Structure formats: C-alpha cells, structure tokens
Amino acid sequence: MATESKLLTIDEEMKEERAPELRRVHTTCYMCACRCGIEVTLEGDRVRFLSGIPENPVNKGVWCAKGGAGIMTEYSPARLSQPLMREPGAPRGEGRLVPVDWETALNTVTEWLRDIRRTDPRRLAYFTGRDQMQAFNGYWARQFGTPNWAAHGGFCSVNMAAGGMYSIGGSFWEFGWPDLERAQWFMMFGVAEDHPSNPLKLAISGLKERGGRFIVVNPVKSGYGALADEWVPIRPGTDGALILAFMHVLIREGLIDRDFLRRWTNAPALVIRAPGTPRDGLLWRSEGGDMMVALKDGRLVPFMDARGEGVLEGEYVHGDLRLVPAFQLLWQEVQKATPAWAEGVTGVSKRTIVRLAMEMGTVAQRHPIVLPIEWVDAYGVHHDETIGRPVAFHAMRGLAAHTNGFQTIRGLFDLMMLLGTIDVPGGFLYKSPYPKPVPPPVKPAPNPEDYQPNQPAKAPLLGYPTSPDDLLVDGDAPIRIDEAYSWKYPLAAHGTIQNVIANAATEKPYAIDTLMIYMANIAWNSTWNTLTTRDLLTARDETTGEYKIPHVVVFDTFDSETVAYADIVFPDTTYLERWDATSLQDRPISEPDGPADSIRQPAVPRFADTRPTADVLIELANRLELPGFVENGKPRYRNYADFIQLWETEPGSGVGLLAGFRGKHGDQMLVGEPNPRQLEAYAAHKAFWQYRLPDNIRYYRMANQGYLDWAHSVKFIDQPAMIVLHLYSEPLQTFRLAGQGLWPGKKPQDARLQDRLARYFSPVPIWYPPLEDQNEDPSAYPLRIITQRPMTHYHSWGSHNAWLRQLLNENPLFMNPKKARELGLHDGQWVWIESRIGRMTGRLRFSDAVEPDTVWTWNAVAKGPGSWALDPESPEVTRAILINHIIPDRLAGRDGDEFFNNDPVTGQAGWYDTRVKVYPSDIHEVWPRVKPRQPVARPRPVRHLAYRAKGEAR
Amino acid sequence: MQLTIITDLNKCVGCKSCQMSCKEHNTSGAFGPVPDETPYQDPDGMWWNRIIAMESGEFPNTSVLYLPKACMHCYDAPCVPVCPTGASYKRQDNGVVLIDYDTCIGCQLCMWACPYGVREFDEEEGVVKKCTLCIDRLEDESLPPHERQPACVQSCPTHARTFGDLDDPNSEVSRLVQERQGFGLLPELGARPSVHYLPRRPAPSPVEREALEEALKERY
Amino acid sequence: MRPAPQLLVLTVGQGIAGGLAVSLAALWSMGVLSHADAVWLVLLALLTAAMGGVASFFHMHHMAAARYILRRLKTSWLSREALTTGLFGGALAVAAAWSLFGHTAGWPYLWWLWLTAAAGLLAMWVTAMLYATIPAVLSWHTPVTVISLLSLGLLSGASWVGLVLPLGDHRYRVFAVAVMVFTVFVLGIKALHWRHFAEAHGRLRAETGTGLPFAPYRLQDTGTTKPPYRMQPQVWPAIPVRVRNLFYGLIVLFVGAGSLGCLLLARLTGVELFSVILPGMVSVGVVLERWLFFADATHSSRVFFVDEPRQPSRLKLSPRARVPAK
C-alpha cells in the first residue's frame, strides 16, 4: 500500500554539484512529433544546449523554438517523480493521489489486467496520445488480446491518412511529401503548423528562394500563410467544393494529364452500371480478377494488357452489362461542381477559382520538368527520362477535421492524379516504406471470436477494410469500445479515441474494467465537450456506487489534468532520459529520397523514481506472461531497448523496429537478423540511419519496376506488382452497396446506418455540408469557430515549459473587424461564444487576417487550475480560453444518441465544424472555470530563474 | 569589418526558433544568464531577440509580417556614446556592440538611447543585457565551423537569416542587401543599423489576364 | 517610459536647488536679503540638491561600477551630469559654509553666490541636455525640453524663496513680479512642450519601424504574450487621454494658478501664509509635470509594442454631397 516516501522535487536534483565537462550526445527530439535529430550538449549532467544535427535527414541541422526549449521541459517542476495511487476513499478527479512504490503499483495493475485477460480481454481499453511507439503499443495490445487499442488518430487526422491510403497507398505527413525542391507552384490547404514542421519550413524556404508561387487556402492567414503569394480565405468545411470546382475547370480546359491517368490510375477501369443490383458500381473484372479497360478500337482487355492505352470516356456494353470508364463517373460528379456553384459554397470568387485551376493546370501540363533519369515501368517500358509536374500540394487538419473531410481529401488526391503529380519530380513524393497497395493490405480480425480470453488477437488491431465483411461488427453491434470499424465509422483506420470515455461510461456497446491512457490529455484539451467528459470519467453506477469505468491507469511525465482522474499513475521519463526508436513499422522519419529511422538514447540521468512507459509495459507483459513477450516462462525482453533490438515482425522475418545496422555484425539493412548491439551502432552514427534510393528508382514508385522489385526484396510490399492508384474507389462502393442492402455479405439493419453508408460512401469524391450544418439552422449560429496551432507550442502543450509559456499564455478570440462592426462589437471586448452545446467567454481581438464568417483562437493554451505545477492565478488558468468546452462531441438532435460528431466514413472528430454565435458578455473574465484540483507536483513560487548549465552565475 | 545578420522577410514564418535558440545558448553563455521572472506564475522574462508579429491592410488584402528584432549592431550605435562608464562599447575589429557588465552601473540610459528597444534590464544583477551576436560562439575556436555563427542563424528553420561582414562588398550579406533592396529599421533616427531586412518578393500569377477573361467569358 | 522615482526626485530637487541658487544671488545683489535669510536659502538649496544627489545615487543599480562614471565626459551627458551636479553641490556646500561661518560682506561672497548660481544653471542645463539629445525618445528630442526643464527649475526654486521671505512684502515686489511674469512664460513653454509630446506620439510610423505601410496596422505579438514593459522601462503603457488631460489641468492649476494666485493674494492681503503655500503649490505642480514628462514620453521602440495610433486626416474634409454626380 501507500508508503510514506517523500515527494522528490526537481530542486534537489538541480542542487547536486557535478564536474562541468562538455559532452555531446545525439538523439531524437520529442517536443513534437516531427522527430528532428538533436545534439544534446551537456555540462556535467546538465543540459547546456540543444541543437539540430546537420546530417539528419529530417531537420538538416535546424531546430525550432520547442526543440530549444526542451531544456525547460527536462527541468519542469510539473514532472511526476514516483508512482501514485488514488487516496483510499478519495473521489476521482480531485487529484488526491498518494505516492506508492513501484512494486505496489505494478502488482495492482497486473492483478487487474490478469483478471481481465482471463475473463474478457475486451474489458481493457488502451489508448494513447501522440506517442511514437505505436508499433510496440499495438503489438502489446494485440498480444494481450483486446481489440480496444488505438492512438489518437481519431481526433487528430485519420481522414488525411485514410483519404490518402484509399487513393494512392500513401498520404501526406510521414507517408509522403510535396517536392518543394522542384515545385514551381505550391498550394497548401488548412495548415497552421504541422509535425513535419522543420522539414515543411525548410521546404517552403526552398520554394521561396527559387521564386516559386505559394498559394494558401485557409480561413486564417498566419504562420506559413504569411508568406503566401496569394491567400485564399475560405469558409471552413468547404474545401471539398473548391477542389471539385478545380477539377471541373481542369477537365473542361483540357489541362489534365490523360497519359498519367490511363497508365497509373484506375481512371480507365470499366465500372458496371447496374443500379439496384449487387454489382452496381463495382469494377468489371476478368476471371483472374484483373480490372478491365476499353481500348480505342473497342476491345475490352485487362488493365495491364492495355499498357496505358485504356480510354477514359464512353459507354460500353458487354453481354448484359453496361460499362463506363471510372473517369467518366468522376466527370459526371464534378460536372455539377461549377465555379459559380463553388463560389456560393466557399466564399471564394468564381474568378479566383477559374484562375487558380488554370494556374495549376498550365504549370503542370505546359511546364513539365524533364530529368535525365532513365527508368523502367511495370509494363516493361523503358523511359529515357523522368517527367515531372512542378505542381505540389500539402494539406492537413483544415481538410481533415471536418465531418466531410474524408471525401474532401479523396478529392484532393484525385485532383493530384488529374494533374499527374503523384510521385513525380516537383509533385507529391512518397516516403518509404510507401507506396503500399491501395489500401495497404492490413486488416483487423473482424469477428467477436477473434478476441478470446488468454489469447492474442488474431490480426493486427488496426488496418484498412476493403469491404463491409472486414468490419468489426456483430450484426449491427460494434466489437470495439470506440465503435471503430463499425457501421458508424467503418474506415476508422486509426481508431476513434474520442468515443472511448463516453461509451465506456454509458456501457455502450459494453462495460469495460480498465482504461489505460498514455500521453493523451483526455480530461482537458484532447477531448470535446470537456466538462461533460470530465463528469463521465467520474460517473458512478447508481445501484453499486462504483465507478462506471472501474479503473483508470495513466502513464504521464507531467502532472496533467488527466492525472487527477487516475487511480494509478505511472511516472514516465522525458525523451532525454530513455531509449526509443522511430520505426519504419510505425511512422518513420523517411524522406522522399529513401528510408530512414532513428533512435533516442539517454542523455541525462533519469529524474527521481521515473521509468520509461515502454519499460513498464514490458514489465507488465512479463508479469502477465503475454505470448511473444514470455516464452517457456522466460521473458524475451528486459526492457524496451531489448525489444527495439530483438523483436521481429514475425519470428525469423529479419524485419524489426530498426532497419539500419541489422545482422549479427551490423552490416545489413532493412532485412537481417536482430543485432544485439544495434542501438550502440545507431548511437555511433548520430542516432539515425538512412538509405538513399538510386535515382532510377526514386520516382513513379507505384509503377517503377526497379523500385517495386527492390521494395519487395526488403519486404515493404508483398508482391512486386504495380500499385494502381484509385481515382475511383471500389472499396467505398462496397459499403454503399451494403447501405443499399445489396451487398451479399455483412450489412446493417438499422435504417440510419444504411442511410449513412449509401449517402457518404461515394466511390468518386463528393462534397456535402459538414453534418453540423445539416443538423441545425445555420442562421442561429452564423459563425464557424476554429483553432490554429501555434508553432511554438504544437504538441508541446503538455510540458509546462518556463520558456515556451512566455511566448503564448493567453489567447483572444480573433474576429474580422468587418464582422465585428456588423455585430456591434469592439476590439478588446469580452464576449459570449455560444455553440449549440454551451457557451463560454472570451476576449475579442480584431484581425483582418481571418475571413469574416470565421472566428478563431490558438489551440490548447488554457490549463486547468491545480495542474502542471502552475500557480492557480497563472494566465493559462485565468485568461486563456479552451474552446473544447463548446465543441460538440455528438451530433445534434436524435442522432446525438447514436452518433458522435465524427466523419461518417472514418470516425474522424469534426472539431472544425463547430458553429457559434458571438455577443457581448457581462462577465469580464474566463468562464467556465473548473474547480481547482489538488496538485501532485506543487506550484513552486520561483521569483527569479536564471538558468545556467553550470550552476549559478556571478 | 561590421558583422551583422540579414533576415529575409520573404522566408520568415514567425516560428520563434531564433528567439528561443538565442535564449537557450546565451543563458548558459559568456554573457548570461538570460533570466525569467516568476516563471511558473505570471511569467515575464528577458529575451534578446523578439519576434514581432503584426498585420496591416484590410481584409482580404491583409499582410501578415514577422519581424525578428534583436540588437541592430548599429554603425552609429546611439547606446554607446551615452554610456557614462564606457560599459557599452562597439568593437573596433568587428563592429559588434557589447556591454561590459563589470563597468555597467545599470542607469539604463542606453535603453532610452536605443531606438529599437532591444536592450533589457536585469534587475537582479543591476545591468543591462542584450544580443552579443553570440560573440562567445564566434570566437570559440573549440567549436566546429558550423557552430561559429550566432545561434539564431544556425537554428533558423527557413534559413531566413544570414550572418556575415557587411563591410566586405563581396560577402553574402552585402550581396543580399544590394540585390534584394535590404532595408534597416527606423532610418530617420540616424543610428545606421547594420542589421538589415530583405523585403517580400511576391511571385505573380502565371495565367495571362486575357486568357482568364476569355475562359470566364466563354465558359464560366 | 516608466517614471523612475529617483529621476523624479533628482530632476525636481536639482531644479529647486538651482532656482534657489539663482534667486539667492539675485536677491543678494538687489540688497533686499538679510544675512539670516541668505543662510536659510542656501541651506534649503543644499538640502534639495542633496535630495536630488542621493536619489541619483540610488538610480544606479550596480554600485560597484560607480567609480567609472566620469569616464565618458567626451560623449556622455550622464558623465557630464555627474560632474556638473557634483560641482554644483560642492559650490553650494562652500556657499553654505561661507554663509554660516564666513565673511559675507563684499564682492567675493557675492561672486561666489553668482558662481554657484551659474553652476546650478550649468547642472540643470546638462541634465536637460541629457534628455533632449536622445533622438529615440521622440517627445524629448527638442530644445523646448531644455527650456522647459530649466525654466521649471528656476520657477520652483524661486517659489521656495517664499518659505523664507514674505513675498507679499513690498520689499520683494520686483522679485514677485519677475516670478509672476516668469510663470506665464513657463506656462507658454509647457504648452509648446506638450504640443511636441502630442506630435511625437503621432510620429510612430509603422512603415519605417517595420516595413509595413498599410493601414490599419495591428501588433498581434511582441515576441511574448506581454509587452516587455518590465524588462524595457523605456516604454510604458499609453496614458489614457482623460488622465493626460487631468494632469494638464492639475499642472496648470498648481504651477500657474498656484504661483500667480499665491503671489497676488500675498500682495493683496498681506497674509504671509500665501507665501508659504506658494512653494507647496508649485512643487506639487512640478512633481506632476515631471511624472507626466516621463510617463507620457513616446519612445521610438513603442512602434513594436502597440497598434499604430489612428491619425485622422488633417485636411478639412468635404461633405459627401460635394462629389460631382456623373
């Protein structure tokens, strides 16, 4: 039980005198998910300087404000120092936690988990935030046997990932990247800051250096947008309409790359037109399963046999089948999307839409890049040169965080296909190990019996369903606690973390026993309708008086708002204190020119009694004797460092977490026996490994036979076969058929579920108003509220950093002065911001850099009183606003009982869809305020801080 | 020789990398610490390099600009002659303006004299502090060559900052100032700042107006 | 600018001392001063000068370096201020000793009094030049600053004579009239000075400060959430117009009406009390004036910390109806 051990404070650590000698240790940053290579200069054991590693492929020597401020994260007073347990009898949420020793904490959790695993492994839900060991976490959960694991992609950007995977077998982010070294014309949608942040800055800098044209589509002009040669202020949630209109103009102006479409995409594939039958909208395939295309002479042949000569338009009859090329179906959809229509939807003038479409089309088709690089395509055709289209795009949550985001992003990838700018110089480039087949061939096990007591799950827990038969449903009922892969959110490729607490607390679809949370601040800024969610975490069964979620286990480095809701807290280390890997099995640091990965290594001594979370999970796995972790009663891994070096995807596969320095002697890459001294080799190579692809296999990789053969040899892909891009998505059509009741396999019975599938699973990109707009009278809440991510805090909200918090510690509500005058509001005024679920106060700040129908503020600046070792009167508590309070977590009206405010395709939270009205407030302070909790890490009344690595100066 | 930093406003995205790397290096550097007051309450700290964010113009023709502002290492630095003790001085060999903390009396007259508001007062030590152009890095021969430049130049993620000798007509900084119409701030105050900024350089639309008009008229 | 109490006391004290020294020399020359009165006046001057001196000493934050303060006489008005203020103090001390213990009849004493008065004027002038020669403090960068500081110092010093002499008495009629005339002059100078302050406020220009010429101009971020007022005392939050106007009113009331009124009433009623109230009124007015002098001063770096002040067109605007119809 609770021991009397005293809470260690960071002061005592700092006081220790150590010999001041300069040392340099190389590792990987973790102040955000960008994962730059950093050099830690140490004076004794104290951090003197954090800087970029020039040779590192990610940041090439530069580093950002967060990276440099890592020093203050390391020495943050908000750090947890030892395991904690909720005080006996104390209610959850008040932060009344007492220190316990590791053995007590580990034993307690082991007993809970052992019981769960023995009875019903589904009763463990393990969800993580922006962690960078998803390969390990997914493996751990799978070996445990629960289906209920995911990271935070559900509220982050699963639309972007899934939209890309179901279109081109890659996406933006860690999956691919605009080639701004060669692009002449670059359009960026909805990005304020992103986590390949330093690479994006380097890339934009290169574009500007060469005088390239930069277009920013965003309701707000800030950050990168400040450099835009043209700012396209768009109404939130309408980008899909803009993209369809671009396609409309491009096709009509003849500015599309027909060869590209014919050769590398399924644009010429013949689609069966047979409404009301189970084959409607599916591709017509040969008996061997090849999709068929029509040639100019009217012959119908398999796609590969057409060698890029398939026609894109027309109508064909074969027997009793009516067949149409997929491209024609796309054209039918975008034909409706005239620039005039799009102007009404987006607020962007018709003139601008036509001009921008002509710009991108002209630059792509009339000014191609020709590189003297020979290559051989999958048809066996030898190309003397490599043709590039210098038009590039980048997009992120401005497209993704809407309930129409998936289809919008599908639209963006189709637009890129029309322009012929996928994996070509100057366009979009894949990052290894992508491209993968569309979608990548990984699927979770779909049946209830795949998750049995004391058994590992039958398949990886997350993946890409290709038909309704792959869904994790039992009839209409979801198998997962978060309802991912259910009829509600069928393509929830990253899970839907935002549904977990509400579902667990209401026991829908079932009750759970233990909720494990790692690095996700689910009781504050990583949740919507925050106050209700906090209530749900403390909801009790009316009859027994027990918590609806009986056990909450939190892994965290800092005293976050969520820590207050934990029953057990495991104190994590910082990134400077542990071994870690960024893996090709996870989200690698690869750049377009080849695969790369990196490690973290301990640079400073561990603080107090903390342990790396991965080590704790391995300890738990060993105690639970999880298969894969324990063999013949013997643990395979003592800690995560062991796991990084020794684990393989399959026994003997030769593929593990790290791709470099494999084999007994460390001389193999990508595939090779585990190397027990691999981390040492990485440490000696500035903490990263990189392989540069030869030029002839660097482009057109979806169809570059040389690349496909190589990728197959290193096990990136199962077959060295061409990866045909999906202009038309047949998998989506199968779900539509299920909605129409026509699919022969699994299909839903509930009419609302059927309707959603039929309506939103269009095989060609469509635009529809965000669900919030459909549910309510838009005039009641005329403004859209969004957040922008500050470059100085993106992903670093949770460290309570003495330097970063000076850069931004309160956030006004930015409003266009034109709109404010219409509403009779003035600069600096306190206002109510009211959405359909509640209202809050904020202080207005005029800005001409926001379009009039949008108001915005910075994301996640506010903090709860008592958390983060902050003084309760800190500006983050008393003057900063958190709009999560008024972002609806559920749909409006009757639908709200069943459906979360998520994209109906992927389950991505639609947190950019919130509508509000703004009017004067009589309260001149932040409201609502939550009750202060008891801090674990107590606020220190430091009056004056003069940090020196070498103790005090002068 | 006049060492200086040129910032390309056509590349600066306002990420404050330079603001932080400055503090990070200098707080443990030869001219540190760079202190913070009540860092865990309502914080207020010393920054030798501040990124000013501003907007101007009316929607939708709004300009948003980020301006990294540190010591301008002026040719006629007004902070130097006003100093009664000579603590504030300009180095003859490289033009860097520095403060000798041992002779500074903390009268803050130099802070009045500096037109740019880049000098900050350390109440604890009773001296004025400011950007040293990382002179302790420039002159530290134990550092590898790429580190012998100001921390803010090394860290800048858009390579918007260039370091060099403005008196050398063949240097990169001189070339940039000449070719890109580099400008100094508040020239009317006569300090002749050596720090220069390069203006925005917009890229025009590649679509001819006539072609657009024709398309709009005939088809849309 | 953040008003530093030490500088307030220094400049006000130095002004009073200088004014007293000049008044003393003048009155002694006019032969209307008794020896005892002279002793009191010189002691008052010494006291106020010492107050200023002590205050200025505490304006230094790093005492260890104080020994270097005369190093930059060639360029630094502050070095010169230290010297001239020291000389003035020394001259005053000698004058005080002389008055108390020496032989005061004859020209050497008179000459020394005038020498002291000159040292006072010199010290006041150097101090005023320190402020007036900083181009970055747009409000101060004018010769009017020198005249203003000098004349206010003289007036306040002259008013302190009232503590010793009943200025309503006909013996001091010339002196009283001179002070009244000088008061009107001071008010005129202050009006000029304040006009310069107002213009300086409007001289903050985004186009040269930042390179952004378009209006409206908004500062969204100063590098940290807060303006760096704590770290950079050369800027200070703008004084609200109402507060500024209140100060204008009070200063005119205390310095102008106070000085003229007290002297007139002293003369008309013969009540000595008015003579004693006079220095109180004027001193309060001068302290208010000095506070505003610092607090309302516009520093050029302010352009980086606040939105650009709105400048309405100075042209006479024509009504819309004058635009010719097509």
Query: How confident is the prediction for chain A on average, in pLDDT?
Result: 95
Q: How do residues A892-946 score in pLDDT, each as one tens digit? A: 988 899 999 999 999 999 999 999 999 999 999 999 999 999 999 887 789 999 9
Q: Rounded CA gap, A317 and A321, in Å?
A: 6
**B99-to-B88, B91, B105, B131 alpha-carbon distances in Å:** 4, 10, 11, 10
Query: Residue A294: its pLDDT value, please?
Result: 97
Query: Residue C322: its pLDDT value, please?
Result: 60
User: Going by C-beta distance under 8 Å and a sequence separation of 6 or more, which residues neighbour residue A707?
Assistant: A693, A697, A698, A700, A701
User: Going by C-beta distance under 8 Å and a sequence separation of 6 or more, which residues neighbour residue A258?
Assistant: A312
Q: Output the CA torsion sign for A204, A208, A211, A214.
A: positive
The ipTM estimated for the assembled molecules is 0.97
Q: Rounded CA gap, C25 and C30, in Å?
A: 9
The token pair that represents A329 in the structure block: 């179906």
Determine the topology of domain A169-433+724-729 in CATH.
Dimethylsulfoxide Reductase; domain 2 (3.40.228)
> To 10 degrees, what angle do helices A751-760 and A730-739 make?
150
Percent of chain A with pLDDT over 70: 97
C-alpha triplet A569, A574, A579: angle, nearest 5°: 105
Identify from B82, B110, B124, B188 which residue to disrupt to test chain C contact, counting C C-beta atoms within 10 A and taking the largest count. B82
Residue A8 has pLDDT above 60, yes or no: no
Query: Residue A951: its pLDDT value, please?
Result: 58
Query: CA of C224: which chain A residue's CA is closest?
Result: A807
Residue C326 has pLDDT above 60, yes or no: no
Alpha-carbon gap: C234 to the closest alpha carbon of chain B (Å): 5
Q: How do residues C112-169 score in pLDDT, each as one tens digit? A: 999 999 999 999 999 999 999 999 999 999 999 999 999 999 999 999 999 999 998 9
Lookup result for tokens 């056990």? A551
Residue A19 has pLDDT above 50, yes or no: no
Check CB contact under 8 Å for C224 and A845: no
Residue A1 has pLDDT above 50, yes or no: no
Q: Rounded CA gap, A126 and A148, in Å?
A: 6
Strand, coil or helix: A232: strand
Extract the runs of DSSP E, i.e. beta strands, from A443-524: 473-474, 477-478, 514-518
Chains that touch C (3 or more CB pairs under 8 A): A, B
Are A912 and A219 within 8 A, CB to CB?
A: no
Of B63, B65, B107, Cβ closest to residue C78: B107
The token pair that represents A944 in the structure block: 């004056």
Confidence at B139, pLDDT banded by 50, 70, 90 = very high
**A819-to-A286, A508, A753, A811, A853 alpha-carbon distances in Å:** 59, 43, 39, 19, 7
Q: Output the CA torsion sign for A173, A176, A180, A184.
A: negative
What type of residue sits at position C115?
Answer: L
Determine the topology of domain B3-219 in CATH.
Alpha-Beta Plaits (3.30.70)
Q: Find out whether the peptide bond into B33 is cis, omega within 30 degrees of 0.
A: yes
DSSP secondary structure of A630-668 = EETTEES-SSHHHHHHH--SSTT----S--SSBSTTS-B
Q: Rounded CA gap, A883 and A914, in Å?
A: 10
Residue A2 has pLDDT above 50, yes or no: no
Residues in chain C closer than 8 A to A807 (CB atoms): 223-225
DSSP secondary structure of A916-944 = EEEEE-S--S--S-PPPPPPSSPPP---E
- Beta pairing partners, A833: A840, A918
Check CB contact under 8 Å for A201 and B13: yes
Check CB contact under 8 Å for B206 and A68: no
Query: CA of B197: which chain C residue's CA is closest?
Result: C211
Percent of chain C with pLDDT over 70: 97
Residue from A78, A69, A41 nearest A795 by CA: A69
Chains that touch B (3 or more CB pairs under 8 A): A, C
Backbone angles phi, psi at C145, to 5 degrees: -60, -40
Identify from C205, C232, C305 which residue to disrupt to test chain B contact, counting B C-beta atoms within 10 A and taking the largest count. C232
Q: Find out whether the peptide bond into C216 is cis, omega within 30 degrees of 0.
A: yes
Residue A552 has pLDDT above 60, yes or no: yes
User: Going by C-beta distance under 8 Å and a sequence separation of 6 or more, which residues neighbour residue C44?
Assistant: C16, C20, C160, C163, C164
Check CB contact under 8 Å for A807 and C225: yes
Of B32, B65, B220, Cβ closest to residue A226: B65
Query: Residue C88: its pLDDT value, please?
Result: 97
Check CB contact under 8 Å for B19 and A51: no
Residue from A935, A268, A919, A858 nearest A559 by CA: A935
* Mean pLDDT, residues A303-330: 96
Domain spans in chain A, listed from the N-terminal domain onward: 169-433+724-729, 771-920
Query: Residue A130: its pLDDT value, please?
Result: 84
Of A227, A355, A817, Cβ closest to residue B207: A355
Check CB contact under 8 Å for B65 and C301: no
Q: Find out whether the peptide bond into A550 is cis, omega within 30 degrees of 0.
A: no
Residue from B129, B78, B92, B130 nearest C77 by CA: B78
The token pair that represents A344 in the structure block: 């009404």
What type of residue sits at position C235?
Answer: V
Q: State which H helix or E strand residue A165 sits in.
A: helix A158-168
Check CB contact under 8 Å for C62 and B56: no
Q: Which of residues 134-163 of B touch C (CB under 8 A)?
A: none
CATH number of A771-920: 2.40.40.20
Confidence at A227, pLDDT banded by 50, 70, 90 = very high
The token pair that represents C66 in the structure block: 């104080």
Query: Residue C216: its pLDDT value, please?
Result: 84
Check CB contact under 8 Å for A807 and B147: no
Region for residue C16 given its phi and psi (left: phi exceeds 0; alpha: psi -120 to 50; beta: otherwise): alpha
**C274-to-A743, B143, C26, C157, C163 alpha-carbon distances in Å:** 106, 74, 22, 16, 10
Chain B CB within 8 Å of residue A846 CB? no
Q: How do residues B9-21 score in pLDDT, each as one tens digit? A: 999 999 999 999 9
Enter the DSSP assignment of A762.
Answer: -
What type of residue sits at position A646?
Answer: L
Residue A242 has pLDDT above 50, yes or no: yes
Query: Residue C318: its pLDDT value, please?
Result: 73
Query: Residue A10: its pLDDT value, please?
Result: 42
Query: Residue A4: its pLDDT value, please?
Result: 38
**B90-to-A584, A748, B79, B83, B98 alpha-carbon distances in Å:** 53, 79, 10, 12, 6
Chain B CB within 8 Å of residue A210 CB? no
Lookup result for tokens 């020794």? A646
Residue A392 has pLDDT above 80, yes or no: yes
Residues in chain C closer than 8 A to A847 (CB atoms): 218, 220
Confidence at A5, pLDDT banded by 50, 70, 90 = very low
Residue from A508, A522, A471 nearest A492 by CA: A471
Identify the architecture of domain C5-211+228-309 in CATH: Up-down Bundle (1.20)
> To 10 degrees, what angle do helices C5-30 and C143-160 make?
60
Residue C311 has pLDDT above 80, yes or no: no
Alpha-carbon gap: A161 to the closest alpha carbon of chain C (Å): 34
The token pair that represents B5 in the structure block: 């930093």
Q: Rounded CA gap, A857 and A812, in Å?
A: 6
- Beta pairing partners, A293: A269, A301
A21/A842: higher pLDDT: A842
Q: Rounded CA gap, C253 and A4, in Å?
A: 70
Q: State which H helix or E strand residue A742 sits in.
A: none
Q: How do residues A830-884 score in pLDDT, each as one tens digit? A: 999 999 999 999 999 999 999 999 999 999 999 999 999 999 999 999 999 999 9
Query: Residue A663: its pLDDT value, please?
Result: 96
Residues in chain C closer than 8 A to B58 (CB atoms): 214, 216
Lowest mean pLDDT among A607-611, A788-792, A949-953, B211-215: A949-953
Identify from A806, A813, A876 which residue to disrupt to test chain C contact, counting C C-beta atoms within 10 A and taking the largest count. A806
Chain A CB within 8 Å of residue B209 CB? no
Of C216, C218, C225, Cβ closest to residue A810: C225
Query: Residue C323: its pLDDT value, please?
Result: 58
Residues in chain A closer than 8 A to C223 (CB atoms): 807
Residue from A10, A152, A155, A151 nearest A71 by CA: A10
Query: Residue A825: its pLDDT value, please?
Result: 98
Residue from A539, A435, A393, A373 nearest A170 by CA: A435
Residue A3 has pLDDT above 50, yes or no: no
Confidence at A779, pLDDT banded by 50, 70, 90 = confident
The token pair that represents A810 in the structure block: 């309160």
pTM: 0.95
Q: Rounded CA gap, C170 and A232, in Å?
A: 82
Query: CA of A792: which chain B residue's CA is closest?
Result: B15
Extract the runs of DSSP E, i.e. beta strands, from B35-107: 36-37, 44-45, 50-56, 63-69, 88-90, 97-99
C55/A195: higher pLDDT: C55
